[in-house]
Structure 1
């Protein structure tokens, strides 16, 4: 069959081309469909079907690529699986990185705090180095020996020296000798022996031989020592008055010089006697006067008794019948003012008037009083020359009632501090001699703490703190500086003059050198900006809260505080209390007083940024809270119960307030006293005036711990221990008694109850009854209620103040 190559044959060729093109398009479409199906894997194509198709296609050889479509699809699937695996691994790595990033973000505030603490420590170390370089180390030398007076110029023995320097050999009394004292008796009577025992009990630096002594006390019954030498004290316990002797200081009622001690020791009580309360004010008699001196013209006093008065003016001329000791005391105790004339009975009547609350009106400008160069008797007595006797009634009747009560109070204080019994008089005499010779006492660590954990105060193991520190960029509370102790015994010599008045007349405690002073002098505020006076200051830069949080500022050099935390049978509660104090600025250390005497504590406690020292005590006694432990190395003490949950902002605010009011109790929950009917009551209700701060959360000066433990009446401490209550009331009574000021309340807190604590004193049914009784007992012991009312509280200076956007408050919540 012949094929024609004409027009019809030419038309066949294009049709072949079209068919080839269509076949090519078909395979391309098929390839695309299969490719898409292999990646999208729709639900209507099963894995078996797809595998079957690939196997079918595997026999096909793509002429353009040399590989089958099945092989290409398998390769693409392998690549896809590899990419998916890489994506999965990358996702895991991203999660790990994100976890690390979150951990780093969480640690940034803590590391910033640590960095700030390190920077503070470096800065503090640099400043301490500069301050140490500025400190002058002064060597101490013994005083010169007394100048030897040529024999031809020596004064006759019958002429008495008139200066202390004439009879003191200072070479035996170095300031570092702490005044060693030797005591003996010249006569061997019963009274002399009793006084010898008294001195041996109270002398802190007693020596057995006179050659080692700075001061030699010779006790005598009116008989002078035949061989008195330098630095001798003639302590006359007899009625005969010893005439002046060279090289000796006299202690007797009369025939004394300016440096002698006018004290009639015969009328000093063997033991303390009860004192008359300050109130009620009204007495039966306005004035009493006992005339012992028969040489005086008794008619000269008639003008006084003739003056009109709503209350009697009693004048008694002494005789054997009406001048007995009992009669004199009865008359003094029933009078508001006791007019005292110089006589042999002057000291007896003077002491009785102080004891019985009668204001001594001394009718002489020359009559000497006990320790009058140190004690300001003007605060408790009034002097009048005898010539003003006709005008005396007008003078005393013009006194305000408040002044009379204050003179009674101060006179009572002087009496019970210096003259109430033999031991007090002996201690006062030693203190007066120490002041005259300007010799500090030895540093005596009377309250050496016993570590709870073997030889270490800190727990053997430290656990990680569970509570995270509250970090707020806008409200830092202060830098975490290195620990710094308050400078102790810095006033060993200025106390003899600059602070002498305060020691003898206000805080009434001159018997030993103080570790700290409550009201030490402050530098002018611009001193912190001068090179030679800026040591220790941390001035606040101009600005509001942001600058305020960077430094302590104030009027004094930088300082820190110690937390004293009393605990009993609440280990978990104590752990929480410790954790809340972690990273607290200006905290020096925490002292835990372990009152659990019948069991050992756990070995592990939270590990804080400062030391936590555990102290072992002999008994479960609430007075342990106020023991001036030697481990307390700061003036500021935060007394804290273990169940108290305070914000750190509140603590720092109270610390700053205390720094400006160091003689006050500064704290949080306030209470007050109230009188209903004839009795005094303790009251915890909300009120607009308060008189007490609970010491479960309060700042107190360390000196008050010493006063509580050693100077407060022992009956109060004994009562607190017996009823296991009222130690906070006792401390408030003591501080108000010494300062005549109320405590200071900070923030709005009114209660500190712990709802989860199973052991709490306030939950006892008799809690309030005990506290009512405490107030009545303490008032009786003091002779009056020393608590003072206050009607304000202290908040931060910008609290509730509307500030511009570019300013920040001092604290966020207080």
Structure 2
């Protein structure tokens, strides 16, 4: 058994050593055998022995050729598969590279756009920096001019002339009645201090709470309390103006002896008479004066307290200014036989008015010499002109232009108000010519007279508060003191991001134009010069304050009505004279 095993092992090693040769020999033998048996196995029509001598070599060559072809085909198929795999792999790599390239290009575009934006921002910041440098340089120049300017020294005003030493000869002034020069103590009212008013409520108690003037008295006190010039100080010498409200002549004799200089007295009793001996140096605000008792430039004429409202003006129920001409050309109710009317020839006036009413013209008149009409307001609404003797604000309120036959009648606040723009004043001798005069006024002038009268009544004569405030401001205007500054209010923007302004787009040519090239650099925003004409306005613009703009109670920082300078002013004179004038 060992011998067989060793022989088997020996032949096995030989077979393994020459396995390639044996395997090749086996394949050749198998191929020849199968080729020899081809006519029998695969072709039944051919006889088994009908084979030529050269068949075997041709069949063997064909077999080897097909085997070689099959091997080459297999190798070519594998190569094509490898090439396809390589192609797909390369395509995938190319797609990835193209995607990365697109991302890099997008990022490059964003970076370039960001760089352009940063460049524009840098240019804008440089432009703003240059603008700020220009503003700083301008501010430094202005500061240098202000430092180098020569400011005058301000001293206190002088005392009243009557209180000066007798070495000065002012007898020509002392012989007259009180004026600002003789009786007013300006040392309490320097220009470097604001205007101040003081009153003591404990000393102003109404005598009779059941009187009809009680509501007017309370309204006057309320107006004084909310006045912007009021100061609460125990020392009465700190205020420029002292205010006192009295009623009747009995209170005048009991209270005025205690009053000193710089006093303003409101007399509420419309029928009270004035005694100059008891007034001392006090200015009186009253609705009734005689020619002997009135002191021009010192006393103040105010409207009758009975015609004033204690609450507020009812502007909604007022009639319209138009039409210019109304139903009645001229009306008059209880205007001649009034108890307070001056002495005039009543019969002559009656005859002239009767002649006017009987004229052959189409003009309509309404004359009643006794107060029998209960609808005076309705009559004034239908009247173009109203003939009055005693000043009354009702005609102004309802649009009837007042006609006054006297040049000596003092109207309320006539010291500062230009009543020529609101009333028609004629001498009594022109009474027969009245019809001709009032017919000659055209429609535009009628509306202008009516408008000014309405504005005078609305701002100065409507309520008790308006009269008290206007009287105090009239005294301040006399002293050339400044009013309180108007409170600054920031305006609200009408258009913003949520509510943009609707406007048509600009042409393409205008959008491409650089405005800085034609308009120059834009300066930084700064506030307009404020309060540049403080003290000059108290003399130059007083008329406009009271009669044109109807705003004398506040000092405005800027004014759109500043007078322009001549064109050669900026080429002549000192720079600081026009640097802030626009």
Range class of TM-score, shorter chain: 0.5 to 0.7
Counterpart selection for 2:366 from 309, 314, 317:
314
The whole-number CA distance in structure 1 between the counterparts of 2:118 and 2:319 is: 71
Q: Which residue is 2:138 aligned to? A: 124
| Alignment map for 1:69-88 (pairs within 5 Å) | none
- The 3 A distance-change label for structure 1 pair 261 and 474 is closer
The whole-number CA distance in structure 1 between the counterparts of 2:530 and 2:456 is: 28
Instruction: Check conservation: 1:381, 1:411, Cα contact below 8 A.
Output: yes
Instruction: Check conservation: 1:438, 1:493, Cα contact below 8 A.
Output: yes
The whole-number CA distance in structure 2 between the counterparts of 1:534 and 1:233 is: 41
Corresponding residue SS for 1:493: helix
Q: Which residue is 1:725 aligned to? A: none
TM-score (ref. length: structure 2): 0.64
Shift of 1:173: 1.3
| Alignment map for 1:746-785 (pairs within 5 Å) | none
Counterpart selection for 1:291 from 313, 316, 336:
336
Counterpart selection for 2:247 from 221, 226, 231:
221
1:241 and 2:273 correspond: yes
Instruction: Check conservation: 1:173, 1:179, Cα contact below 8 A.
Output: yes
| Alignment map for 1:556-575 (pairs within 5 Å) | 557=581
1:502 and 2:530 correspond: no
Counterpart selection for 2:217 from 185, 188, 192:
192
Instruction: Check conservation: 2:302, 2:467, Cα contact below 8 A.
Output: no
The whole-number CA distance in structure 2 between the counterparts of 1:151 and 1:138 is: 30
- The 3 A distance-change label for structure 1 pair 472 and 310 is same
The whole-number CA distance in structure 2 between the counterparts of 1:372 and 1:496 is: 17
The whole-number CA distance in structure 2 between the counterparts of 1:220 and 1:143 is: 31
Q: Which residue is 2:411 aligned to? A: 369
Shift of 1:137: 3.0
The superposition leaves residues 618-655 of structure 1 with CA deviations (integer Å, 9 ceiling, x where unpaired) of: xxxxxxxxxxxxxxxxxxxxxxxxxxxxxxxxxxxxxx
Instruction: Check conservation: 1:222, 1:242, Cα contact below 8 A.
Output: no
Q: Which residue is 1:338 aligned to? A: 386
The whole-number CA distance in structure 1 between the counterparts of 2:369 and 2:411 is: 24
| Alignment map for 1:103-118 (pairs within 5 Å) | 106=120, 109-110=123-124, 113-114=127-128, 116-118=130-132
The whole-number CA distance in structure 1 between the counterparts of 2:546 and 2:206 is: 33
| Alignment map for 1:128-277 (pairs within 5 Å) | 128-133=142-147, 135-147=149-161, 148=163, 161-184=177-200, 185=204, 188-189=207-208, 190=214, 191-209=216-234, 210-223=236-249, 224=252, 225-238=256-269, 239-244=271-276, 245-252=279-286, 253-254=288-289, 255-259=293-297, 260-267=299-306, 268-271=308-311, 272-273=313-314, 274-277=317-320
The superposition leaves residues 483-531 of structure 1 with CA deviations (integer Å, 9 ceiling, x where unpaired) of: 4322212222112111111111111000122222221122111112225
Instruction: Check conservation: 2:246, 2:266, Cα contact below 8 A.
Output: yes
Q: Which residue is 1:435 aligned to? A: 477
The whole-number CA distance in structure 1 between the counterparts of 2:284 and 2:205 is: 14
- The 3 A distance-change label for structure 1 pair 100 and 171 is closer
Name the Cα RMSD after superposition.
3.5
Moved more, 363-372 or 474-483: 474-483
| Alignment map for 1:540-551 (pairs within 5 Å) | none
The whole-number CA distance in structure 2 between the counterparts of 1:104 and 1:237 is: 76
| Alignment map for 1:721-760 (pairs within 5 Å) | none
Shift of 1:162: 4.0
Corresponding residue SS for 1:360: strand
Instruction: Check conservation: 1:275, 1:356, Cα contact below 8 A.
Output: yes
Corresponding residue SS for 2:393: helix
Q: Which residue is 2:561 aligned to? A: 519
Shift of 1:222: 2.5
The superposition leaves residues 375-430 of structure 1 with CA deviations (integer Å, 9 ceiling, x where unpaired) of: 11111112100100101110110111111011111110111011100111111112
- The 3 A distance-change label for structure 1 pair 186 and 495 is farther
Q: Which residue is 1:673 aligned to? A: none
1:378 and 2:420 correspond: yes
Structure with more strand by fraction:
1
- The 3 A distance-change label for structure 1 pair 221 and 111 is closer
Shift of 1:130: 4.5
Shift of 1:532: 0.7
The superposition leaves residues 227-275 of structure 1 with CA deviations (integer Å, 9 ceiling, x where unpaired) of: 3321111210012122222311111121322121111342322132343
Q: Which residue is 2:441 aligned to? A: 399
- The 3 A distance-change label for structure 1 pair 485 and 317 is same
- Which one has a bigger Cα radius of gyration? 2
The whole-number CA distance in structure 1 between the counterparts of 2:280 and 2:383 is: 43
Q: Which residue is 2:352 aligned to? A: 303
The alignment covers a number of residue pairs equal to 416
Shift of 1:111: 6.0
The whole-number CA distance in structure 2 between the counterparts of 1:276 and 1:131 is: 56
Corresponding residue SS for 2:529: coil
Shift of 1:199: 1.4
The whole-number CA distance in structure 2 between the counterparts of 1:303 and 1:443 is: 52
The whole-number CA distance in structure 1 between the counterparts of 2:166 and 2:205 is: 29
Instruction: Check conservation: 2:247, 2:268, Cα contact below 8 A.
Output: yes
The whole-number CA distance in structure 1 between the counterparts of 2:576 and 2:223 is: 49
Corresponding residue SS for 2:555: coil
The whole-number CA distance in structure 1 between the counterparts of 2:243 and 2:363 is: 48
Shift of 1:310: 1.4
The superposition leaves residues 547-576 of structure 1 with CA deviations (integer Å, 9 ceiling, x where unpaired) of: xxxxxxxxx746xxxxxxxxxxxxxxxxxx
1:356 and 2:404 correspond: no
Structure with the bigger RCO (C-alpha within 8 Å, sep 6+) is: 2
Shift of 1:121: 2.7
The superposition leaves residues 313-347 of structure 1 with CA deviations (integer Å, 9 ceiling, x where unpaired) of: 233223xx52x7x4543443331111222xxxx13
Instruction: Check conservation: 2:219, 2:310, Cα contact below 8 A.
Output: no
- The 3 A distance-change label for structure 1 pair 230 and 102 is closer
- The 3 A distance-change label for structure 1 pair 134 and 480 is farther
| Alignment map for 1:408-427 (pairs within 5 Å) | 408-427=450-469
The whole-number CA distance in structure 2 between the counterparts of 1:294 and 1:441 is: 38
- The 3 A distance-change label for structure 1 pair 236 and 295 is same
